[in-house]
Amino acid sequence: MMKIGIIGAGPSGIFTAINLKNENNEVYLIDKNKEIGKKLAITGNGRCNITNIAPYEDFLDNIIRNRNFMYSSFSKFDNYSLIDFLSDNGIDTVVENDGKVFPKSMKSTDIIEMFKDIILEKKVKFISNTEVKSINKSNDFVVTTNKGEFEFDYLVLATGGKSYPKTGSTGDGYTFAKRLGHQIIDQTPSLAPIHISNGFNIKALNLRDVTLNVNLIDKLYSERGDLLLTNRFLTGPIALKAQARASRDDITDMLIDLFPNYNYESLEEILLELLIKNPKKNISNVLKEIINESLAICILDRLDIDINTKANQLEKENRKALIDCLKCLRFKAVNNTSFSSAVVTSGGVDVSEINPKTMESKLVDGLYIVGELLDVDALTGGFNLQVAFTTGYAASLAIRERI
């Protein structure tokens, strides 16, 4: 009977195991943690944004690195296939903003318990608290761990990337893949807050429907939506998306357009009307009509405009500077993003060395690489988890066909 080893009990490893196991093989799921799905438990703030309902091409457009690599496997097992799988196994789902799919219970633990039940039912051998030390290949794969050696006919690397290292994702898989002959693209944190050096004295402020422009040395990325501004970083949906796109470059600065629905001239007309209507009011009180009071005070401070300046005393030069700031609020970036605050890892095993239909290595017969280990990453919204499930399914299908 063929023995298959899967290193890593995260989403891609779990899904490979449960779709691969049948009466003709033995499947071993090895992980350094006590339980499966440790990182899965914290996704979506514990609610588990498991996939997205975006249509086929739109879904793939959210994969920002090596999108074309995913065509074949996604055609075999896409986002709707995953939703059907969940439904067949007793997990109802709901759709929230931007097509994000969650379990109806809003509990990632329900997803993990479902997987535990399937693992038990299918008799996948879960080897917990087991750290892999080395992997060697001759006729078989010899996996040396802190609990001794295992020999496998086929091996799947599903160890995840470097994001959230406290969950056990410390980059071991890159070392194993490299020693087995693979090229590894440098890893950077992705879907992470953007740190700033000139933040405002604001603990946290939600900015609704703004445009964020992220400047690099030779390009610009623009995202529109909601943003969370703090004194140390920018985060929220559009900040995470912009950072993901720019994760392999150095960000120079960010520009926030607080009024994307208005051009410079129309916004100036609105401000002038407010100034004329409230001539004796302090400028900080006038600005409260259109922006948050704390933000107004911070902007006035940056422009060296006294907050007690009366509306009818605001000089034209200061009015112009104020409009500039409302349309182009600038922050300097600090490129010190860490993997501990990143949702996913950008970089990994060079996909030119992986068969996109099967996830098998083109260099090592019987070796399969899935999930975040691959140089494939996507925007926020459930897309990265779907990549994990899709690549795991493709590997399981391919191995099953061989045995």
Q: Return the residue matching tokens 């900040």.
A: 239
pLDDT by residue (tens digit) across 52-74?
999 999 999 999 999 999 999 99
pLDDT in tens, 248-264: 998 999 999 999 999 99
CATH level 2 (architecture), domain 2-189+342-402: 3-Layer(bba) Sandwich (3.50)
Q: Using alpha carbons, select from 384, 385, 377 the residue that is nearest to residue 351.
A: 377
Question: How far, in Å, CA of 331 to CA of 310, rounded?
Answer: 28
Mean pLDDT of the chain: 96
Q: What is the pLDDT of residues 327-378, one digit of tens each?
A: 999 999 987 788 999 999 999 999 999 999 999 999 999 999 999 999 999 9
Pairwise CA distance, residues 339 & 163, whole Å:
5
Interval 265-280 mean pLDDT: 95
**For 284-328, what is each residue's pLDDT tens digit?**
999 999 999 999 999 999 999 999 999 999 999 999 999 999 999
Mean pLDDT of 114-122: 98
Alpha helices by DSSP H, listed for 96-252, are 108-122, 172-179, 237-245
CA dihedral of residues 44, 7, 53, 210 (deg, nearest 10): 40
Cα 131 to Cα 59: distance, rounded to the nearest angstrom: 35
Q: Which residue has the tokens 């357009």?
A: 257
Residue 247 and residue 185 in contact, taking contact as beta carbons nearer than 8 Å: no
**Rounded Cα gap, residues 340 and 169, in angstroms:** 10
**Domain range annotation of the chain:** 2-189+342-402, 193-337
Number of residues that this document lists for the chain: 403
pLDDT above 80 (res 230) = yes
pTM for the whole thing? 0.93
- Residue 45, pLDDT > 90, answer no
Q: Which amino acid is at 75?
A: S
Residue 88 is predicted with a pLDDT of 98
User: Per residue in 203-220, pLDDT tens?
Assistant: 999 999 999 999 998 889
SS3 187: strand
Q: Look at residue 165 in the predicted model and tell me its pLDDT.
A: 87
Give me the pLDDT at residue 382, please: 96
Is residue 169 over pLDDT 80?
A: yes
- Nearest Cα to Cα of residue 234 among 202, 269, 193: 193
* Residues in Cβ contact with 144 at an 8 Å cutoff, skipping those fewer than 6 apart: 132, 133, 134, 135, 136
DSSP code string of 148-170: EEEEESEEEE----SSSGGGT-S
Spatial CA neighbour of 137 closest among 175, 181, 183, 180? 180
Residue 45, C-beta contacts closer than 8 angstroms, at least 6 positions apart: none
Q: What's the mean pLDDT in 83-108?
A: 97
The arithmetic mean of pLDDT across residues 175-202, rounded, is 96
Confidence of residue 396 (pLDDT cuts 50, 70, 90): very high
Q: Which two tokens stand for residue 213?
A: 């422009």
Indicate the SS3 state at residue 101.
strand
